[in-house]
Structure 1
Amino acid sequence: MGEFEIHQPEKSSNRTIRMPDELIERMGKIAASKGISFNQLVIQCCNYALDNLKSDDNE
């Protein structure tokens, strides 16, 4: 599995999602400590998860 690295934002589009309050709080603290937006942390977490799926799960 690859190492998770936080980087600065790229160009993006808007999409509304719902998340559990506890997850939002945890991610908000991490984003603030790393100096990036909450949104960029969500994007990076999603990309990391998708890049590290088992090969038979990839579309």
Structure 2
Amino acid sequence: MSFQLKPKKQTENKTIRFPQDLVNEIEKYIQNKDVTFSRFVIQACEYALENIERDQSKQN
């Protein structure tokens, strides 16, 4: 499954710290795309969780 941008959902504020080099890479990637930094991070986390669940189900 490829990474795909999805529409916005209900949200809650959380404060986290990112390494500056990761922030720079994300901002470079989303430049000229219709997506915010937060939306990108949310979708990346959802993608990671979906794949972790698949990997765990394959191991069982």
**TM-score band, normalised by the shorter chain?**
0.7 to 0.9
Counterpart residue type for residue 8 of structure 1: P
Query: Aligned Cα RMSD in Å?
Result: 1.4
TM-score by length of 2: 0.78
Q: How many residues align?
A: 55
Distance in 1 of aligned mates of 2:38 and 2:4: 15
Change (3 A) 1:31 1:9: farther
Structure 2 unmatched ranges of 5 or more: none
Kindly report which structure 2 residues correspond to 1:30-45, keeping only aligned pairs within 5 A, or say none. Answer: 30-45=29-44
Structure showing greater Rg: 2
Give unmatched runs, 5+ long, in structure 1. Answer: none
Percent identity, aligned pairs only, is 33
Relative to its length, the structure with more helix (as a share) is 2
* CA drift at 1:35: 1.3
